[in-house]
Amino acid sequence: MALADEAGLDGLSMRRLATELGVVPMALYKHVANKDELLDGIIDTVVGEIDLGPVEGDWRPAVRARILTARAQMLRHPWASGAIESRRNPTPAVLAYMNSVIGLLRTGGFTVDLVHHAIHTLGSRILGFSQELFDDTPADPGAQEAAAHAMKDTFPWLAEMALQVAHDEKSIVGSGCDDQFEFEFALDLLLDGLERLRSAV
Amino acid sequence: MALADEAGLDGLSMRRLATELGVVPMALYKHVANKDELLDGIIDTVVGEIDLGPVEGDWRPAVRARILTARAQMLRHPWASGAIESRRNPTPAVLAYMNSVIGLLRTGGFTVDLVHHAIHTLGSRILGFSQELFDDTPADPGAQEAAAHAMKDTFPWLAEMALQVAHDEKSIVGSGCDDQFEFEFALDLLLDGLERLRSAV
DNA sequence: CGTCCTAGGTGTACGCCGTACACCATCCTA
DNA sequence: TAGGATGGTGTACGGCGTACACCTAGGACG
């Protein structure tokens, strides 16, 4: 995890990890069957650190809080979301996390069926991350605005949006979007919809 | 694209593509600066094939239809979603696609601000795919149910859900979930929420 | 005390990957 | 007829995951 934190997911190779540990690459294979198992291990650790303590109150704030806790952990370890996405089978800690969220929904009055749909609907957002289609925080804020201007003829709708976003955000914190706001916006929209379905039964 | 279709994203290497073309690997670099540019190229092609023809009627069925069209294309080329996720900068065809969806929303009565949040909310689902946390279509249907039984003590909520899903689906098409249904369920929930916000302004 | 098992580190090697660099053949244009 | 573009070739480097055979220190047990 330390190596991934500082070198990113790409920088985490068996060879590099070995030299970091002052050891020859093949020595790692006495502790781990292969690289996949190593990745499963660090995923299990990072997800296992998410606090699953009991939460009181309605299902909605409870689920919201749990997901935002997970998100904080993902932000602490930026490689984690990519690592999780790359895996095909869930690790025990991921299962435990899912189990806890499902529990909050079930005790909150969701039917088994609706929980199932809810899990699919939340998708990776349940673990606190969402894959954006592209990185909207380019290095140069001015360049972004210039690019938006250049798009006005070919992609007018896109340019309109990009320009307004660039304008709005410039007053706050340079360019790019407020990821945390957008995440919570989407999360609340989903939770609203789920509550509507739950109470409609 | 043909190679990716048959060998997957992992199987698409410069060397393999070259031999497939009956040519030496370095020959590819006379047509493409590097592998990233090649990936951008095939993404642009696959996304460019999505029909962006004009759609009549309300924004909601229009956006729904466009996204489901995109999804069909993604299902036709299973490597595409992974390739798109791996990229940091959008290709022209992706921009054109986004522009078209934004246009449908804007002419449908969305403010620029709300469109921006909507795009973030839809995330990758706008292009017809959503990253599931894990692959829920294991090879052996019986094994899945057995695993669910084994989880009853450690992860009771998860087991409860898995067992009901396994039971429900067994009558239809073996195990696993109906991905298309779950996708449309989530999409409709999002579109419902967005419509509520739009008409509330 | 001597034996043997085991946990864990070592060295070498294979086959894959992306790609830098120098070279060459063809063909179209001036 | 000369010269530049276009595009294929050969070699090589540094990285990756990992198979296989080997060695060493320490503890268990007769």
B28: exposed, middle or buried (Cβ count in 10 Å: 0-12, 13-18, 19+): middle
What backbone torsions phi and psi does residue B23 show, to the nearest 5 degrees?
Answer: -150, 160
Nearest alpha-carbon partner for B129 in A139, A123, A134, A151: A123
Average pLDDT over residues A125-150: 82
Calpha distance B121→B190 (Å, rounded):
8
Give me the pLDDT at residue B138, please: 62
Residue B163 has pLDDT above 80, yes or no: yes
- Chain A 28..87 CB hits on strand D (< 7 A): 29, 34-36
Give me the pLDDT at residue B111, please: 96
Calpha distance B94→B97 (Å, rounded):
5
Residue B173 has pLDDT above 60, yes or no: no
CA atoms within a 13 Å half-sphere pointing along the CA-CB vector of A97: 28
Give the angle subtended at the CA of A136 by the CAs of A135 and A140, to the nearest 5°. Answer: 110
Residue A92 has pLDDT above 60, yes or no: yes
> What band does A140 get if pLDDT is binned at 50, 70 and 90?
low
Nearest alpha-carbon partner for A143 in B40, B89, B93, B87: B89
* Cβ distance of A164 and B88 shorter than 8 Å: no
Average pLDDT over residues B111-122: 96
Nearest alpha-carbon partner for B101 in B67, B75, B124, B72: B67
% of chain A surpassing 90 pLDDT? 81
> What band does B172 get if pLDDT is binned at 50, 70 and 90?
low
Give me the pLDDT at residue B169, please: 65
Residues of B with Cβ-Cβ distance to A133 under 8 angstroms: 84, 90, 94, 98, 123-124, 126-127
Residue A146 has pLDDT above 80, yes or no: yes
Å between B10 CA and D4 C1'?
Answer: 39
* Strand D nucleotides where any atom sits below 7 Å of a protein CB: 6-12, 15-21
Residues of B with Cβ-Cβ distance to A187 under 8 angstroms: none
Q: What is the pLDDT of residues B129-160, one digit of tens each?
A: 998 887 776 656 677 788 889 999 999 999 99
Q: Which of B127, B182, B186 lies at the smallest CB-CB distance from A133? A: B127
Residue A17 has pLDDT above 70, yes or no: yes
Average pLDDT over residues B9-33: 97
Calpha distance B161→B102 (Å, rounded):
37
A136-170 b/e (C-beta count within 10 Å ≥ 16 → b): beeeebeebbeebeebeeebebbbbbbbbbbeebe
Nearest alpha-carbon partner for A125 in A194, A29, A23, A196: A194
Calpha distance A1→A43 (Å, rounded):
9
Q: What is the pLDDT of residues B51-76, one digit of tens each?
A: 999 988 999 999 999 999 999 999 99
Query: What does the mean pLDDT of chain B come to?
Result: 93
Question: Is any atom of strand D within 7 angstroms of residue B196's beta carbon?
Answer: no
pLDDT top residue among A39 and A136: A39
The contacts found for B176-180 with CB under 8 angstroms, 24 or more apart, are B176/B136, B176/B137, B176/B138, B176/B141, B177/A116, B177/A120, B177/B136, B177/B137
Q: How far is CA B150 from CA B104, B133, B144, B177, in A?
A: 48, 21, 10, 20
Give me the pLDDT at residue B177, please: 80
* Cβ distance of B123 and A133 shorter than 8 Å: yes
Report the topology of domain B49-131+178-200: Tetracycline Repressor; domain 2 (1.10.357)
Calpha distance B9→B174 (Å, rounded):
27
* Cβ distance of A106 and B164 shorter than 8 Å: no
Are B193 and A193 in contact, with CB atoms under 8 Å apart? yes
- A164 token code pair: 């307004």
CA B193 distance to own-chain centroid: 21
Give me the pLDDT at residue B139, please: 59
Are A50 and A16 in contact, with CB atoms under 8 Å apart? no
Average pLDDT over residues A83-89: 94
Nearest alpha-carbon partner for B90 in A163, A72, A162, A52: A162
> What band does A143 get if pLDDT is binned at 50, 70 and 90?
confident
Å between B34 CA and D6 C1'?
Answer: 18
* Strand C nucleotides where any atom sits below 7 Å of a protein CB: 7-12, 16-22
Nearest alpha-carbon partner for A177 in A167, A169, A185, A186: A169
> What band does A2 get if pLDDT is binned at 50, 70 and 90?
very high
Cβ partners under 8 Å of residue B196, min gap 6: A192
Nearest alpha-carbon partner for B201 in B133, B135, B110: B110
* Cβ distance of B133 and A197 shorter than 8 Å: no
> What band does A171 get if pLDDT is binned at 50, 70 and 90?
low
The whole-angstrom distance between A134's CA and the closest CA on chain B is 5
* Cβ distance of B88 and A135 shorter than 8 Å: yes
* Residue boundaries of the structural domains of chain B: 49-131+178-200, 141-173
Residue A173 has pLDDT above 60, yes or no: no
Residue of B155, B181, B198 best to disrupt the A interface, most CBs of A under 10 A: B155
Q: Which one of 1.20.120.80, 2.60.120.1130, 3.20.20.30, 1.10.357.10 gives the CATH number of domain A32-133+178-200?
A: 1.10.357.10
CA B54 distance to own-chain centroid: 22
Q: What is the pLDDT of residues B80-95, one digit of tens each?
A: 999 999 999 999 999 9
Give me the pLDDT at residue B140, please: 67
Å between B52 CA and D17 C1'?
Answer: 43
Average pLDDT over residues B189-201: 95
Question: Is any atom of strand D within 7 angstroms of residue A26's beta carbon?
Answer: yes
pLDDT top residue among A178 and B35: B35
Q: Which of B124, B154, B193 lies at the smallest CB-CB distance from A133? A: B124
> What band does B109 get if pLDDT is binned at 50, 70 and 90?
very high
- B21 token code pair: 């073309």
Å between B4 CA and D7 C1'?
Answer: 24
Q: Which residues, by CB, come closer than 7 Å to strand C?
A: A 23-27, 30-31; B 13-16, 25-26, 29, 34-36
